[in-house]
Amino acid sequence: MANSTLTKQRSEALGSTVALKSAMAVTGVILVLFLIAHMYGNLNVFAGQQAFDDYSHHLRELGEPMLPHGGFLWIMRVVLLASVLVHAYAAAVLWRRAGRARPVRYQVTKRVQRSYSSYTMRYGGILIALFVVFHVLHLTTNTIHPGGASDSPYERMVAGFQPEFWYVTLFYVASVVAVGLHLRHGIWSALTTLGANRQSRQRSLNIIATVIAAALTVGFLLTPLSVTLGLVE
């Protein structure tokens, strides 16, 4: 084997399909950790307006005085945005490659064992990306404000999920379910990509992926649905 080319081969492999999916796995794990923290923050809604708004306020004070006001939040935003961009870029390259890799399609296809969630990763990902844009404009910048703008994150949220804005709630529900499906395959896939998959562990990996995905789905659904159903006002 011509070892003299190894350095060149290594740099070529940095752009390989395996490297791309590894980048997706690492950024995906970052985003899942964010979602867990975010879900916890949202559940503060059940502790009342004061607690919810305090939580949001504390996010901006975190790290002070070592960091300036809002510094921690901005670091998080940069990390999240970079993760989303890398994740989406790698997904787009792999999607294009997959399309090129099978120029003539089968006339008959049959699924053998693949799950619905593995099958919907790409379109589901697009839905989630659109949701995130809408969601930031809605609850972070308050540029879109069904039910009226407010300085209180709690009020913004309660106003936006009122029954007359059922379509907002519906879009949230659909997107959160899409996130759940995305994570069901995504967590399994990320762990496999990062080398944790052994035949003896496959059951555990599947359970871990299903439990995290289900917990995030239910946890995220509770907040908007409670507002719409009038349990929180």
Partner 1 sequence: MNITLRVWRQKGPDDKGRMVTYKVEDVSPDMSFLEMLDVLNEKLTLEGEEPVAFDHDCREGICGACGVVIDGEAHGPETTTTCQLHMRSFSDGDTITVEPWRAKAFPVIKDLVVDRGSFDRIVQAGGYISAPTGTAPDAHAMPVPKADADRAFDAATCIGCGACVAACPNASGMLFTAAKVTHLGMLPQGQPEREARVVQMVNQHDEEDFGGCTNIGECAAVCPKGIPLDTISQLNRDLLGALTSSRAE
Q: How many chain residues bind ligand HEM (CB under 6 A)?
A: 22
Q: Compose the 67-96 pattern: x for residues touching ligand HEM by CB under 6 A, - for all others.
A: ------x---x--x----------------
Structure tokens at 11: 């740099």
93 vs 221 by CB, closer to partner 1: 93
Q: Which listed residue (132, 194, 208, 215) binds ligand HEM by CB under 6 A?
A: 132
Q: Is 186 in the site for ligand HEM (CB under 6 A)?
A: no
Q: Is 59 in the site for ligand HEM (CB under 6 A)?
A: yes
Burial 115-124 (b: 16+ CB within 10 A, else e): eebeebbeeb
Which residues neighbour 36 within 8 Å (Cβ) at sequence distance 6 or greater?
A: 212, 216
56 vs 117 by CB, closer to ligand HEM: 56
The CA angle 78-82-87, to the nearest 5 degrees, is: 150
CA distance 22 to 199: 20
Whether the bond into 224 is cis, omega within 30 of 0: no
Selection from 37, 60, 57 nearest residue 49 by Cα:
57
Interacting partner of 195 out of ligand HEM, partner 1, none (Cβ under 5 to 8 A depending on kind) = partner 1
Q: Is 187 in the site for ligand HEM (CB under 6 A)?
A: no
46 vs 95 by CB, closer to partner 1: 95
Rg from Cα positions in the chain: 21
Interacting partner of 9 out of ligand HEM, partner 1, none (Cβ under 5 to 8 A depending on kind) = partner 1
CA distance 225 to 183: 21
Q: Is 42 in the site for ligand HEM (CB under 6 A)?
A: yes
Q: Residues in the site for partner 1, rule: CB under 8 A?
A: 1, 3-4, 6-7, 9-10, 12-14, 16-22, 94, 97-98, 100-114, 118-119, 121, 185, 188-189, 192-199, 202
Q: Is 181 in the site for ligand HEM (CB under 6 A)?
A: no
**CB-hemisphere CA count at 13 Å for 145?**
13
